[in-house]
Structure 1
Amino acid sequence: MTDHAVTRQRIGSEGEPLVVIDGFAANPDSLRADAIAGSYDPAGHHYPGIRAALPDRYLRDQLPVIARALGREFGSYRRIHVVDARFSIVTTAPDALDVRQRLPHVDAYGRDRIALVHYLSASDRGGTAFFRHRATGFETIDEARAPIFFDALRREVEAAPPAGYIVADTALFERTALIDACFNRALLYRSNVLHSGAIAADAVLSPDPALGRLTVTAFFAIE
């Protein structure tokens, strides 16, 4: 059985939970082999890369690990519903990003939605960063905050378009946390926390799963 090392922390002034699990999968090399054999398509939904289906065993094996790691950090719940889960590889060059891909984002507004990132690159290909929007002070975006946030952001971006992937502090955003990529490490956090892949300017952005920034990205609803 895999020896999971679970670290729990609270990030930013809003104190959102972030769970880091090292040794997440029992056989990560087998998952890399599945990824290398996979069939990839453009991701859509503003993800700057490509995605492929997971083997059936992935969720069967990892959902119990996720449930234990969630604990009660994210509130009480009775079940976990899988919204989406796939292999993902960042492939878009910094100068080819659209403006939405150059900014921190959220993947859902509800506090019942949980995101997973599972790093499977053999070498460091960039971790995950979390941010505070300076003008509003927001670190999470819900339905009430969204109009305020996006109105302010639209005006800021029109005045000074951002360049490349966001990794550290900028004039518009302050980084509140950075988790480095580590082979077979996974992160769990609420989908409404402002975040971005920490993709360095000189990062390897190969579409080859054996060379590029290979992760599993997944989204869950707890109820």
Structure 2
Amino acid sequence: MFELNPKLKQQAIRVGNEQTPIFIVDDFMGDYQGAIDEAIALPYRNDKDSVGEYYPGIRAPVGKDYGMSLLKQTAAIFYKIFGVPRALTLYPKNGSYSLITKQEHEMDLLQCIPHFDNNDTFSFAMIHYLNNGEFGGTGFYRHKPTGYENISVGRKAQYIKTSQEFINQNGEPQQRYFTKSTEHYELIHKVEYKPNRLVIYPATLLHSAYIDNPQRDVSSDPKTGRLSANFFIEFK
């Protein structure tokens, strides 16, 4: 049902001082309307067990057919582009349809700064942008006080300590979606939203949904909102 588009366009880029690879596939699937239809029919939740600590919205689990098809079609990329050792095996952690629903005045502190998804070296995030329309994409960042762009296990404690010190000295971030560079974080790359675009990046890389127009991007309607499918995977 979910097949690769034979006319897809793919590119591997490297971003920031740490030259972290990001893999982008445009016109990824030949027919992805089935995923959108599935997303429209599902119930969504906003509890932290469902959406995680950082996501300012609602999520619903993707179906097995779509999820397994996507993983099967992308598995080789991780070995070729991201240097995952061939001895390691792919393990899907979760996959969710996602919609950003929080207004800026409702956001928690940790939702107002870039974040990482995981500290493990061979963990990755994938975003499949689904709905037609112009929406905000995804920004990637450098933490200015440390210079870190990826927050690995060995960097996590120093990153948290330095971030808290910065906030103590300069105050909490503005209660808004994080987009452009500030004194705390520098924008190193932005991937634009495009329907049927797949974006793959290491889970250690600091990032944030680039919501520069909340009036446009904040919506709980899977028919018209900024609908994406988000996957987290690891190799071990």
Counterpart in the other structure of 2:57: 49
Q: Secondary structure at the match of 1:41?
A: coil
- Give me the whole-angstrom Cα distance separating, in 2, the residues matched to 1:141 and 1:60: 28
Which ranges of structure 2 fall in alignment gaps of 5 or more residues?
none
CA distance in 2, matches of 1:68, 1:124: 30
Partner of 1:132: 142
User: Do the aligned partners of residues 107 and 177 (structure 1) sit closer, same or farther apart at CA in structure 2, a change above 3 Å counting?
Assistant: same
Q: Provide the residue aligned with 2:131 in structure 1.
A: 121
Q: Distance between the aligned counterparts of 2:13 and 2:205, measured in 1? A: 14
Q: Secondary structure at the match of 1:58?
A: helix
Q: Which moved further from structure 2: 107-116 or 71-80? A: 71-80
Is 1:2 the counterpart of 2:5 in the alignment? yes
Q: Secondary structure at the match of 1:61?
A: helix
Work out whether 1:36 is the aligned partner of 2:40: yes
The alpha-carbon deviation at position 125 of structure 1 amounts to 1.7
Residue equivalent to 1:62 = 70
Aligned pair count reads: 223
Structure 1: 5+ residue runs without aligned partners? none
> Displacement, 1:71?
4.2
Q: Tell me the equivalent position of 1:186.
A: 198
Aligned to 1:160: 171
Equivalent residue for 1:212? 225
Distance 2:17 2:202 in 1: 15
Shift of 1:62: 1.1
SS of the residue aligned with 2:200? Answer: strand
Are the aligned partners of 2:100 and 2:217 in contact in 1 as well (CA < 8 Å)?
A: no
Deviating runs (4+, > 6 A) in structure 1? none
The 3-state SS of whatever aligns with 2:153 is coil
Selected match of 1:80 from 87, 90, 98: 90
More helix by share: 2
Deviation per residue, 1:63-90 (Å, 9 max, x gap): 1221133342211234311011110111
* Identical-residue share of aligned pairs (%): 28
In structure 2, distance between residues paired with 1:221 and 1:69: 13
Query: Deviation at 1:201?
Result: 3.6
CA contact (8 A) 2:54 2:115 kept: no
Conserved 8 A contact 1:6-1:20: yes
The separation in 1 between residues aligned to 2:131 and 2:104, in whole angstroms, is: 20
Q: Secondary structure of 2:217's partner?
A: coil
Give the TM-score, by structure 1 length.
Answer: 0.95
Distance apart, 1:154 and its partner CA: 1.0
